[in-house]
Amino acid sequence: MAMDSPNISPGAPLASTALSGHEVRFGFDNTYARLPDRFYARLDPKPVTTPRLVKVNAELAEKLRLNPDALKSEHGVAVLAGNCVAEGAEPLAQAYAGHQFGSFVPQLGDGRANLLGEVVGRDGVRYDVQLKGSGRTPFSRGGDGRAALGPVLREYIVSEAMAALSVPTTRALAAVTTGERVLRDTALPGAVLTRVAASHLRVGTFQYFAARRDTESLRVLADYTIGRHYPEAAQAKQPYRTLLEGVITRQAKLVAQWMLLGFIHGVMNTDNTSISGETIDYGPCAFLEAYDPAKVFSSIDRGGRYAYSNQPRAAAWNLARLAEALLPVLALEAGSEDGAIELANEALAAFEPQFEAARLAGLRCKLGLFTEHEGDAALAEDLLKRMGDNEADFTLTFRRLCDAAIENKGDACVRTLFADPAAYDGWAAGWRRRMEAEGGDGQARAAAMRKVNPLIIPRNHLVEESLTAASERQDFQPFEALLEAVSRPFEESVGLERYATPARPEELVHATFCGT
C-alpha cells in the first residue's frame, strides 16, 4: 500500500466559508498548527452530501464557551459535518506512528480525523476540537476516511459515561449523520463525531519522530507537551525525565480507574495511548457484566492481548515504548545513552507500585473502608475471586454493597448476584468484622460508597440496542435515553431501572467491533 507524503500542502490557503447570521464562533487559538510542517498535513475536512444533526452536547459546549444553539443552526451543523470551515480553524491531520497489537507501524496518523483547532475552556484548560470521520487524508492508507453511525454513537455514549464517572477522557461535543453510506461488512449510514480532547498527543506521536531518528522534532514535541500538559516539568532539573514520569503516573491512575469500573478499552495500541492521561479512542470498548478477569469483547483481539486483567501490563508496555522513543532527549539530560536508559528504567519501575496503590485505594473506597489495614488487599481480592467464580455482576455487586454496609438486611440483594449465594456470605462476615474494627456511621459509609460505585454503566446490550435503532430505523430515542441515563451514573431514579439491570442471558453481547 503506497503511503502519501504527510505534507501535501504545507501553508496552503485555508478555505473559509463562514456565513453571516447564526454563526458558531469557536474563538480558536491554535498552537499545534504553529509546530513545524512535519508534524501534520494541512487540509480541510471533506464535505458530505446531506448533513443532519444527531446531537449537540450543550453542557460541554457551554464549558467551551460555545453557544449550543449556534452549533445546532444550519451553519453549526455544516461546521460539524466538515462542510464549512469555521472562522479561525486551521484544519490539519496529525502525524503519528504506533504499535498495533505489538507490531510497529511507522506511519499511521489521522486517516479519518481533522483537528479544527484549539479552544480554551471556561476552566482555563486548552482543548482540541477534532472531527472524526471527516474524509480521507494523506494518512488514510487504504481507508475511506469515514466513520459509521454505530461506532460514532458508541464513542459518544461511552466517552460521556466515562466523563460522568470522573474518568479522564476525551469527550463528544456533537454527532451528525452525513447522508452517505460507508461500506464495511455491509453498507452503513455515515456519521461524523466532534471529539474534544485535552490534546491528541499520543505515545505514537513520539514514536513517529523516534522512528525517523529526528531528535530535533522529538525535542520540539517534548517541549510542546511539557508546556501544554506538564508545565511543572519545565522547572524540574531534568524536564524530559519529569515528563516521562508524569505520563507514567497519569496512565497508572487512569488504568486503575478503568479496572475499578470494569472498563475494557479493547484496543490499547500505542497510538491510542494519550500523553495527557485521558481515555482515548473508543473502538471495541465495553464494560464487564459478570466479573471475569480474562474477559475480551473486541472481535479483533483474538489473542486476548487487551483482556480486562491484562490492561495494566499493556499500559506498562506502551509506556516502555514511550520511554524508548524519548531516549534521544533523555540522553541530553543524562549525558549519555546508557544514562538515558537508566533514567528510563527508573521511571518505568514506578508504574506498577503507582498502579497498585491507586487500585488498592480505589478498592478501599468501593468497600467503604476509610482507614488502611494490612489485610485490605486480600479482603478485596477474595471478593473478586468469589465474584469471578460465581459470575456476579461487577457493577451491581459493588453498588448493592452500599446498602449491605448499613445493615445485614442489605445482604439479601447482594447474595442473589452470586451463583452460589453462600460464596458471598463467606466473604461478608470478614468484611463486617473489618468495618466494625474501623467504626463509623453506616449511613455515612453507604453515602460515600454510592459516590464511587455507579448504579448505571453503559451496558453492552443497551448500547447495541441504541446503535441498531439509530442505524437501522433512524430511531434516536434509545440513544437519547441511554445517554441521559449514563450521564447520571450514581443517582437512583425512578424509571431508570432498566438501565441498571444486567442483560438476560439471551441479551448478552459477546463481541464488539472496531468499526473502522
Applying CB under 6 A, the residues found at the interface with ligand AMP are 108-112, 139-140, 143-146, 267, 271-272, 281, 283, 514, 516
Q: Cell digits for 362?
A: 480505589
Question: Choosing among Mg ion, ligand AMP, none, which partner's interface includes residue 143 (Cβ < 5 to 8 Å by kind)?
Answer: ligand AMP
* CA gap 435, 431 in Å, rounded: 6
Pairing of strands 187-197, 126-132: antiparallel
What DSSP letter does each residue of 95-108 carry, written as one string? ---EEETTEEES--
Nearer to ligand AMP (CB atom), residue 140 or residue 310: 140
Nearer to ligand AMP (CB atom), residue 73 or residue 279: 279
Using the rule CB under 5 A, is 155 a contact of Mg ion? no
Minimal distance in Å, beta carbon 109 to ligand AMP? 5
Q: Cell digits for 486?
A: 449514563
Minimal distance in Å, beta carbon 159 to Mg ion? 13
Distances (CA, A) of 271 to 102, 105, 230, 280, 292: 11, 10, 20, 9, 27
Identify which range of 87-95, 273-281, 368-376, 420-428 contacts Mg ion by CB under 5 A.
Answer: 273-281
Burial call 325-358: b when 16+ CB within 10 Å, e when fewer: bbbbbbbebbeeeeebbebbeebbeebeebbeeb
Using the rule CB under 5 A, is 205 a contact of Mg ion? no
Using the rule CB under 5 A, is 107 a contact of Mg ion? no
Identify which range of 256-264, 280-288, 450-458, 491-499 contacts Mg ion by CB under 5 A.
Answer: 280-288
Residue 152 neighbours by CB distance under 10 Å: 30
Minimal distance in Å, beta carbon 267 to Mg ion? 7
Nearer to ligand AMP (CB atom), residue 81 or residue 452: 81
Using the rule CB under 5 A, is 278 a contact of Mg ion? no
Nearest-Å Rg of the Cα atoms of the chain is 23
Minimal distance in Å, beta carbon 449 to ligand AMP? 35
Using the rule CB under 5 A, is 272 a contact of Mg ion? yes
- Which helix (H) or strand (E) element contains residue 427? helix 421-438
- CA-CA-CA-CA torsion for 442, 448, 453, 456, nearest 10 degrees? 100
Question: Choosing among ligand AMP, Mg ion, none, which partner's interface includes residue 253 (Cβ < 5 to 8 Å by kind)?
Answer: none
Sign of the alpha-carbon dihedral angle for 485, 489, 493, 499: positive
Strand partners, 264: 286
What DSSP letter does each residue of 439-471 carry, written as one string? ---HHHHHHHHHTTS-S----HHHHHHHHHHHH
- Which of the residues 44, 128, 271, 281 is marked catalytic? 271
Minimal distance in Å, beta carbon 511 to ligand AMP? 16
Nearer to ligand AMP (CB atom), residue 110 or residue 324: 110
Minimal distance in Å, beta carbon 434 to ligand AMP? 43
How many residues touch Mg ion (CB under 5 A)?
2
Tell me if residue 44 is catalytic. no
Q: Please give the positions annotated as active site.
A: 271
- What residues line the site for Mg ion (CB under 5 A)? 272, 281
